[in-house]
A and B are shown apart, each in its own frame.
Chain A
Amino acid sequence: MISQNIFHRIVLLVAIPLLAINSIFAQKVVRYDLYVRDTLVNFTGKTKRAIAVNGQIPMPTLTFTEGDTAEIYVHNKLNEETSLHWHGLFLPNKEDGVPNLTQMPIKAQTTHSYRFPIIQNGTHWYHSHTGLQEQIGMYGNFVMLKKTDDPTFRKGIDDLPTAPIVLSEWTDLKPENIHRMLHNANDYPALKKNSVQSYGEAIKAGHFKTKLKNEWKRMLAMDVSDVYYEKILMNGQPNTDLKSIDGKDLKAGDKVRLRISNGGASSYFWLTYAGGKITVVANDGNDVEPVEVDRLIIAVSETYDIIVTIPAENTAYEFLASTEDRTNSASCYIGNGIKQLKSPQPRLKYFEGMKMMNDMMKMNGDLDDMGMAMSLNQMDMNVVMYPEITGNTKPNQSDNHSDRYNANALGEIVTLNYAMLKSTINTTLPESQNKELRFELSGNMNRYVWSMDNKVVSEADKILIKKGENVRIILYNGSMMRHPMHLHGHDFRLLNGQRENAPLKNIVDIMPMETDTIEFNANVEGDWFFHCHILYHMMSGMGRVFTYENQAPNPLIPNPKLAQRRLFADDRKPHFMAENDFATNGNDGMAMLQNTRWSIGTEWRLGYNDMHGYETETHMGRYIGKMQWLMPFIGFDWRYRKMKMDEQEENLFGHVSKKDNRTAISLGFMYTLPMLVNFQAEVYHDGIVRFSLMREDIPITKRMRAGFMINTDKEFMVDLRYILNKNIGIRTHYDSDMGLGIGLSLNY
């Protein structure tokens, strides 16, 4: 399968943290030197590029004790920019590590040093905040220990044997390519995960009507996650053993504390354990009252501290992290001896999920929670897809059951939700002026646009707050996916019904239709990012920047205008796609460049002789509205063909197009109709009008796609395509101009 020797081609660079004790300041300075280098890895049998720090993936665990001063030297040995963000840490804004916001990027072949006092404790992590580098290796644990004389030191918890675990995923595709494919609604990842949800599969599952209604409501098949990963990793490996901690072998009866960070770029993970219950003792680096559960889901970028027990001798118990869609997992075997496995979670019932989405989606694209006030992950709409909760067949309870989505009420097992987290300390904010903000998390699945209040980072102003005030944010998720929202530089209270013991967090995972309220005291000046931590959502512009009124300029941002332009470039980036069918009757294809709002695209039909002709149509337009169903455009058409003697073409309206050689400009619009049919209307400068209806990529079976086009020029086309891999398909089509053709269709 895989050679476990992942790093066999890495030149190992040994860099031991240098401990420098500086007695003048009567505090310990802990220094780490991090060397960031390109590397090659082999997780799947194919050698691929990755980034390693000090020769390893994940990056080394950095350990400090509260009261230390951290001094971290980042030596960028890459041929590109980088940065490191200290996730969840309280620090001066210029040390926060967001390129073009809190500092300029660390240029290739240069060194940058971060220095800040450690003024908190708990499990956190760090990662690159530059481009998509986090996906290919730049994540690691960041542990800050309590001082032993800390009054909050918990005997039986803080003195247990402890191991750090950072979760992540690996894909053989370049992350830039994944990002591009997501924007082009390529369903190849679904094919790899067997979650296409085609008409054929719908009929087999007795859900034809569900699928029909889903497309009527203009939705594409959805999954709980949309990137396919070849491997899931714990500390850089799909399988690991935890046999001893600090040189002491683990034995029956031992309790082990795991400090777990989710360093995955886009995956949520279910955590389960073969040796019994899991006790949750901290979340996002903050202590909570111990709570026993059977399983928990860890959102992207969250951290949890959990305690597990080794129940019997001569046995190693499987600790399992499975992706939310249950298609893949990583294991850590805790203890010594024969490996006791944990049953994997059963496959999702996708069509039940589709049915649930149909019920929730109004015709105008808004979501309807049907009167259920949802918050704090307590009601999980996805339970309809979980066989372990709702059984293997269709749910039989009545549809108006109030507990329909409550996993803990329906199932035998206890699943952690945010309402169960209770801080060990009083977290009430200091008395101060209050500011209230509301955001709707918005998104468009089909075009992979993710935003807040339908504005991406580059379209919105920074949000001004005053130092000292209490900021309360009410978040509503009106999009169809869950989002882990992360605030830099501050912990916020999540108002979860635990009153003065509301837990402190820096990420709140918010499911579709949920409303959550968070509040924090604005106590550190600077520009602080507040964004969705799913890497591809963040890069699409799902975020905002909080900034303090009248704050001092950041010395690391000498040219704020330039920095802002570069920051905005991330979500303004256009995504390219192209396809061409090399068929027996001609070439048929298109190329498109799109970003959040704009689209420019060209379609062509090129025959092999003059009679079939050659034609191209180019459209440039802007998507309007939250759902982006409407796109007004200007167009440019060119056509050349040689018809037979006296043959003429007449359209439905009696307009006659005489010319074999036609060049025209047009004005028009495109609108997405129910069933995802594109309706297009355009008027040419010579008065000719054209309407057309088109639908592409109708999923017939897992690999078969159909499409059609018909217009008022009495032209029509039908096609059928069989997907071979992510870039190649076999396509047959019939075109009223060019006749029947069969060919190879390539797409990028």
Chain B
Amino acid sequence: MLLFSFTSCNAQMNNAKTVSVRIYGNCEMCEKTIETAGNVKKVAKVEWNKDSKMATITYDSTKTNQDAILKRIALAGYDSDKFLAPDDVYKKLDGCCQYERVNKTTISTTKVVEDHSIHEQEIVSGQETDQLKTIFDNYFSLKDALVKSDSKLASTIAKDLLTNINAVKMDKLSQEEHAVWMKVLSSLKSNTDKISATTSVEKQRGIFMDLSTNFFALLKVTKQENPIYYQNCPMYNNGKGANWLSKENTIKNPYYGSQMLTCGKTIETIK
């Protein structure tokens, strides 16, 4: 009995197997998170070195395996050569812990980039083949910001939108697109500029109403990969109603945000 308790104190593992693997990370805080995520009493022990980025993993080979341990570590935010951490978990890591993700292959399309901090890249990669798509995406981000009643974010996005509107090369547009573009351009520019200039979400919403009408006209003549929904809030603008565009059929009202999030309905589906 005594002998037994002695050995367990010693933390000797049965059927121990030791491997050395690379785990990406930066600092001492990373070390703690990695080791806590990997360790299981008497089953797995992880020791990570922040300089070499190598982890020594000792585990009971009858009870677990290397993949299970590395998966736990990845779910805590740390990439290895087998697993990539979920993006949302990585983003939540402390600033000092946000290591360079060398193993992650970036997605090579210009699809919705939700994180605002990488908008610049998006502009660069937004090739002229689909230059309107970039500004549509800006519009949808702007709408989402208004849904969240985040006026600061809305203003920043509007700034981007203006830059992108100015960057549109008109000679690359189709004839139909070109015609509508010329009609809406000046109003588009001034509305966008006004949204970026204010931080009052109420003012932004008022201008957004006009902007949505411009975008609706533009979207109708542009080929869409996925259906876009034209939605209506009957209450806004003193009961006269206001419209907006969304990629989802589900209603999320940008004019009232959380006050009346699901008020409204889809009035037209643009395909």
Contacts and interface: CB of A to CB of B under 8 A. Distances in A.
Q: Does B bind A?
A: yes
Interface string B71-95: 1001100000111111011000000
A312 B62 CA distance: 35
A414 B108 contact: no
A400 interface: no
Interface stretch (A107-115, A142-150, A340-348, A574-582): A340-348
A420 B249 CA distance: 9
B89 A1 contact: no
Contacts of A1: 63-65, 68
Contact of A409 (B64, B103, B261): B261
Nearest to A420: B249
Contact of B108 (A274, A312, A337, A338): A312
A80 interface: no
A120 interface: no
Interface string A322-361: 0000000000000001111111100000000000000000
Given A292-B226, A313-B105, A420-B249, A339 B261 contact: no
Nearest to B70: A339
A486 B103 CA distance: 46
B84 A342 contact: no
A459 interface: no
A369 interface: no
Contacts of A291: 249
Contacts of A249: none
A456 B71 CA distance: 46
B107 interface: yes
A597 to B, nearest CB: 45
Given A1-B65, A292-B226, A406-B262, A339 B83 contact: yes
Consensus secondary structure, chain A interface: loop
Interface in B145-175: none
Contact of A338 (B62, B71, B103, B250): B103
A344 B107 contact: no
B129 interface: no
B254 to A, nearest CB: 14
A600 to B, nearest CB: 45
A315 B84 CA distance: 9
Interface in B226-271: 226, 248-252, 258, 261-262
A503 B149 CA distance: 36
Contacts of B63: 1, 45
B106 interface: yes
Contacts of B107: 311-312
Contacts of A252: 105, 108
Contacts of A343: 75, 86, 88-89
Given A312-B107, A313-B105, A414-B248, A341 B86 contact: yes
A337 B261 CA distance: 41
Contacts of B83: 338-341
A341 B74 contact: yes
Interface string B95-116: 0000000011111110000000
A565 B88 CA distance: 57
A649 interface: no
A240 interface: no
B144 to A, nearest CB: 9
Nearest to B67: A239
A408 interface: yes
A340 B89 contact: no
Interface residues of B, number: 33
B125 to A, nearest CB: 14
A403 B262 contact: yes
Contacts of B226: 292
Contacts of A342: 86
B84 A341 contact: yes
Nearest to A3: B62
A214 B102 CA distance: 52
Contacts of B106: 312
A1 B75 CA distance: 18
Interface string A240-255: 0000000000001000
B71 A408 contact: no
B250 A314 contact: no
Interface residues of A, number: 29
Interface string A265-276: 000000000100
Nearest to A279: B226
Nearest to B248: A414
Contacts of A315: 84, 104-105
B229 to A, nearest CB: 12
The listed residue with most B CB atoms (<10 A of its CB), out of A315, A343, A403, is A343
Contact of A340 (B84, B88, B108): B84
Given A292-B226, A338-B83, A341-B83, A312 B252 contact: no
Contacts of A312: 105-108
A341 B81 contact: no
A339 B84 contact: yes
A534 B17 CA distance: 42
Nearest to A312: B105
Nearest to B92: A343
A408 B82 CA distance: 34
Interface string A60-93: 0000000000000000000000000000000000
Interface string B117-149: 000000000000000000000000000000000
Nearest to A410: B261
Nearest to A317: B84
A295 B81 CA distance: 28
Contacts of B62: 45
B82 A409 contact: no
Contacts of B64: 1
Contacts of A410: 261
Contacts of B252: 409
Given A292-B226, A409-B261, A341 B71 contact: yes
Nearest to A252: B108
Contacts of A406: 262
A70 B235 CA distance: 58
B60 to A, nearest CB: 9
Interface in A274-325: 274, 291-292, 311-315
Contact of A341 (B85, B251, B261): B85
Contacts of A341: 71, 74-75, 83-86
Contact of A414 (B85, B89, B103, B250): B250
A252 B107 CA distance: 9
A403 B249 contact: no
A313 B68 CA distance: 24
A403 B261 contact: yes
Contacts of B248: 292, 414
A314 B105 contact: yes
B61 to A, nearest CB: 9
Nearest to B63: A1
Contacts of B88: 343
A113 B83 CA distance: 47
A1 B252 CA distance: 45
A339 B262 contact: no
Contacts of A408: 250, 262
Contacts of A397: 258
A341 B109 CA distance: 20
Interface string A32-63: 00000000000001000000000000000000
A401 B103 CA distance: 45
Nearest to A403: B262
Contacts of A403: 261-262
Which are the 7 A-B pairs with shortest beta-carbon distances?
A: A343-B86, A312-B105, A409-B262, A340-B84, A311-B107, A1-B64, A409-B261
Given A338-B103, A343-B89, 6 more contacts: A1-B63, A291-B249, A312-B105, A338-B83, A402-B262, A410-B261
25 contacts: A252-B105, A252-B108, A274-B86, A291-B249, A292-B226, A292-B248, A311-B107, A311-B109, A312-B107, A312-B108, A313-B108, A314-B105, A315-B104, A315-B105, A338-B81, A338-B82, A341-B75, A341-B85, A341-B86, A342-B86, A343-B75, A343-B88, A408-B262, A409-B261, A414-B248
